[in-house]
Structure 1
Amino acid sequence: MTEWEAGLDDEEAGAVMRTVVRQLKLWRESAGLTQAEFGVAIGYGEELVSSVERGRRIPRPEYLDRADEALGAGGKIAALKQDVAEVRYPKKVRDLKRLEGEAVELGAYNNSVVHGLLQTQEYARAVFSARRPPFTVDELEQRLSARVARQEIVGEGAARPLFTFVQCESTLRRPMGGRAVMRRQLERLLEAAKYPNVDLQVLPLGHEENPGLAGSFRLLRLKDGTTVGHVEVQHLSRVIADPKEVQLLEMRYGNIRAQALSTRESTALIETVLGET
Structure 2
Amino acid sequence: MTHVNVLDPGASPLDYYGFELRRHREAAGLTQKQLGDIVNYTGSLVGQIETARKLPTPEFSERVDAALGTGGLLSRLVALVMRSQLPAWFQHVAELEARATEVCTFQMGMIHGLLQTEAYARATLGALDRTRLDDRTAVHLARQRILDKEEPPAFWMVLSEAALYQEIGGPSTMRGQLARLLSFENQPRINIQVLPFTAGAHAGLTGSFNLYRFTSDPAIVYTESYGNGHPTADLDTVRDCSLRYDHLQAAALSLANSAELIRRVMEERYGEQAEADGDRVA
TM-score, normalised to structure 2, is: 0.71
Question: Following superposition of structure 1 onto structure 2, how do residues 89-128 of structure 1 map, counting pairs within 5 Å?
Answer: 89=83, 90-91=85-86, 93-128=90-125
Cα distance in 2, alignment partners of residues 193 and 235 from structure 1:
33
Aligned pair 1:148/2:145, yes or no? no
1:58, distance to aligned residue in structure 2 (A): 5.7
Contact 1:118–1:192 (8 Å) recurs in 2: no
Question: 2:240 is matched with which residue?
Answer: 248
1:87 alignment partner, one of 77, 81, 86 = 81
**Residue 184 of structure 1: SS of its match in structure 2?**
helix
Aligned pair 1:259/2:251, yes or no? yes
Contact 1:212–1:252 (8 Å) recurs in 2: yes
Cα distance in 2, alignment partners of residues 51 and 194 from structure 1:
38
In structure 1, list runs of 5 or more residues that go unmatched.
1-11, 29-37
1:159 alignment partner, one of 141, 151, 164 = 151
1:220, distance to aligned residue in structure 2 (A): 1.0
Aligned length: 251
In structure 2, list runs of 5 or more residues that go unmatched.
1-8, 26-30, 36-41, 270-282
**Residue 206 of structure 1: SS of its match in structure 2?**
helix
Cα distance in 2, alignment partners of residues 129 and 146 from structure 1:
14
1:75, distance to aligned residue in structure 2 (A): 6.4
Contact 2:86–2:139 (8 Å) recurs in 1: no
Q: Which moved more, 1:107-116 or 1:205-214?
A: 205-214
Question: 1:179 is matched with which residue?
Answer: 171
TM-score, normalised to structure 1, is: 0.72
Q: CA RMSD in A?
A: 3.8
- Percent identity between the two aligned chains: 30
Aligned residue identity for 2:107? N
**Residue 159 of structure 1: SS of its match in structure 2?**
coil
Superposed CA deviations along residues 59-92 of structure 1, whole A, max 9, x for unmatched, are 77969x99xx9xxxx767x945643551344355
1:207, distance to aligned residue in structure 2 (A): 2.4
**Residue 192 of structure 1: SS of its match in structure 2?**
coil
Q: Judging changes above 3 Å, is the alpha-carbon distance between structure 1 residues 178 and 22 closer, same or farther for their aligned structure 2 residues?
A: closer
Q: Judging changes above 3 Å, is the alpha-carbon distance between structure 1 residues 159 and 178 closer, same or farther for their aligned structure 2 residues?
A: same
Cα distance in 2, alignment partners of residues 118 and 59 from structure 1:
22
